[in-house]
Amino acid sequence: PNIPPPQVIVPVFALEASLYTIPTTSVQLLYISKIDTTGLAPLPAPAGQLTIAFLTHFLQHMPKSIHSLRIHIFARAAREGQYLFPASAENGPNGNGDGAKFASKNDSTQDSVTALPYKRPAGKRILDDQQLVKWWHKILSQLTIGYHQLTTSKNPLECFYILPGFDHEESLEVLPLSSECKALWNYGHPYHKIASPFAPTNHHSQTSNIHPGADRPRGYLLSDLIPAFNDDPKARFLHSIGDCSTTPSGEPGDWDDAIVERSSAALESDRNRERTKINQVSPDEFWDRMGGRQECCDGRVSAFFVVALTRSNPIPTSGPPSSVHTQPTKNASADIASHQADSQSVSSNLDNGIKPVKLTDSDEAQKKIVGVPRNVWVSLWSKIHNKDYGTLENLTTAYTGWIDDVKSSINSAVLEDNLKKKRKLEEKGTNLKQDKVNGGCEPNADKHDKPVEERPQSSSSHFEDCYSVILVDNSLMNHVNPTESGSNGPKSSGPSSNQQKRTQVNVLQPRKKPKK
């Protein structure tokens, strides 16, 4: 009898993103830095569907405290044809990797290919510069159309794109637009229509009616308009304009040592000088000159995309406080049971293929993002990248071990955070009981007389300071001991007196926040 080949588990798709939150202006910036496929699956990876689902999650689950979300993407094809998976380019049609063998096998079986709901064979499909720009434009157009069909909100998505070095008419030769897409997209930078990320909340809706060429409100300077991300050509251009004396973020192994080693007064003086130089350039001039940068004039087409969602009426965040504050003596086991039931429900829905509905509480959805310590994040990042994805040999074992490391890290982060919350609840309940016994306070005195707790600043060794996120299957949290787990949330701790030593790895490291 024919023995079926053993099943193996390998990664087929990855997306690298960073989420920045500006609480003072209620703005979130979501930067998609890289996406990639391995080409190791016998079927094509649904890269487009996964990307749309990822972006839709953030659009549909904006926290109530957030007024505006902007999605930023820079599309530029890599010459080597691989972005996140080393040696995966060998899985292309003309490569020597195991993925190329899958592709050639499928090509030789025409019946099996035509029976599949895919128009292209398996293996890694490497896009050239124009194909990548068109792919991103198509994906974001589908995202926008789908969002408008699903949502009942009156706040439409605003879409902007610009091809550096091309005017609008020239861009149409590279990226022709259908009549439907012409109504969705605005050519040019977005800062004639949307406000600065640092503008007050009430300014975001006011700038939606600003037309190109109109006088901008005062205070909108280039240093406030152009966000600078890791490994971002805009950040490198701003660095060049300001003649910065500090190393820009995103360089391998920099860790912003120049910032850490300098005094705060000298650093602030240099920053003010750099901002003055940058603010002498207008946004229009910045984008005109961007076409002459190396990343945009090396013969390959590149594009910047921005998709913005702005609420016309911010959802009020005031309301009844959480149960932790209104019921300090509440039994912690009730929270634990509630969280465990929620985790099991999430796992059951995923197993049954049930899609999340759009009316899910946005703040509850945000709680599913789990934070891990910064050194753990760097270790996980390096382990998944330092592999050869051109062959299946030893890759299954390595990938399975990486998944186990992710589970262990997530469980540890959840347990530590929940134990901390449990101890805090117990201490608070004990103090209240003691106060009542001593007659030192009235039952309602806690609402008015309790001092406001200062939120501790996160240590620079923690995950939140990396401005990156790891999104994992929430069913992983089912492995947490139900007797010790509670309502999960991003891990946070007070400042530590001993700074954690930097991890020595030969990969691109996330930026470390400067000491204050």
* Model confidence pLDDT, tens digit, residues 94-153: 888 888 877 654 443 333 333 334 455 677 888 999 999 999 999 999 999 999 988 777
- 353 burial (CB, 10 Å; 0-12 / 13-18 / 19+) is exposed
pLDDT interval class at 503 (50, 70, 90): very low
Asked whether residue 305 falls in the same domain as residue 330, the answer is no
306 φ/ψ angles, rounded to the nearest 5 degrees: -135, 125
Does some domain include residue 498? no
pLDDT interval class at 32 (50, 70, 90): very high
Asked whether residue 248 falls in the same domain as residue 367, the answer is no
Q: What pTM, to 2 d.p., does this model score?
A: 0.66
* Model confidence pLDDT, tens digit, residues 344-400: 333 333 334 333 334 344 555 555 666 677 788 888 888 888 888 888 887 888 888
* Model confidence pLDDT, tens digit, residues 210-251: 444 444 444 468 888 888 888 889 888 888 888 754 444 444
Asked whether residue 207 falls in the same domain as residue 235, the answer is no
Q: What is the pLDDT of residue 350?
A: 33
Does 494 have pLDDT greater than 60?
A: no
Q: What percent of the chain has pLDDT over 90?
A: 19
Asked whether residue 109 falls in the same domain as residue 234, the answer is no
Arithmetic mean of pLDDT, 425-436: 81
**β-pairing, 68-76 with 13-22?**
unpaired
Q: What percent of the chain has pLDDT over 70?
A: 60
**98 contacts 390 by C-beta, under 8 angstroms:** yes
Does some domain include residue 243? yes
Does 506 have pLDDT greater than 50?
A: no
Range from 55-59, 301-305, 481-485 carrying the lowest mean pLDDT: 481-485
Does some domain include residue 439? yes
* Residues in CB range of 29: below 8 A, 6 or more apart: 19, 20, 22, 69, 70, 72, 197, 227
Q: Which of 153-157, 195-199, 205-209, 306-310 has the highest mean pLDDT?
A: 306-310
Asked whether residue 303 falls in the same domain as residue 449, the answer is no
Does 425 have pLDDT greater than 50?
A: yes
* Model confidence pLDDT, tens digit, residues 6-23: 677 888 899 999 999 999
pLDDT interval class at 271 (50, 70, 90): confident
Does 443 have pLDDT greater than 50?
A: no
Does some domain include residue 1? no
Asked whether residue 197 falls in the same domain as residue 258, the answer is no
Does some domain include residue 288? no
Q: What is the pLDDT of residue 136?
A: 96
Residues in the chain: 516
Q: What is the pLDDT of residue 266?
A: 74
- Give the Cα separation of 153 and 363 in Å (integer): 18
Does 307 have pLDDT greater than 90?
A: yes
- Give the Cα separation of 103 and 92 in Å (integer): 8
Q: What is the pLDDT of residue 141?
A: 95
Asked whether residue 147 falls in the same domain as residue 245, the answer is no
Does some domain include residue 486? no
Asked whether residue 343 falls in the same domain as residue 466, the answer is yes
pLDDT interval class at 337 (50, 70, 90): very low
Asked whether residue 206 falls in the same domain as residue 306, the answer is yes
Arithmetic mean of pLDDT, 447-472: 39
* Average pLDDT across the chain, whole number: 70
Q: What is the pLDDT of residue 481?
A: 41
Does some domain include residue 108? yes
Asked whether residue 269 falls in the same domain as residue 126, the answer is no
Number of folded domains that form the chain: 3
Q: Tally Cβ neighbours within 10 Å of residue 102.
A: 22
Asked whether residue 208 falls in the same domain as residue 226, the answer is no
Q: List, as one string, the DSSP characters of 444-479.
A: THHHHHSPPPPPPPPPTTBGGGGT------GGGGGG
**436 contacts 502 by C-beta, under 8 angstroms:** no
Alpha helices in 109-218 (DSSP H): 110-115, 129-150, 168-174, 179-184, 201-206
Does 460 have pLDDT greater than 70?
A: no
Asked whether residue 150 falls in the same domain as residue 206, the answer is yes
Q: Which of 261-275, 302-316, 490-504 has the highest mean pLDDT?
A: 302-316
Write down which residue in 260, 287, 310 finishes a domain.
310
Does 199 have pLDDT greater than 90?
A: no
Q: Is 505 helix (H, G, I), strand (E, B) or coil?
A: coil
Does some domain include residue 505? no
Domain that holds residue 78: 13-218+295-310
**503 contacts 255 by C-beta, under 8 angstroms:** no
Q: Which residue has the higher pLDDT, 413 or 203?
A: 413
Does 512 have pLDDT greater than 80?
A: no
- Give the Cα separation of 162 and 164 in Å (integer): 6
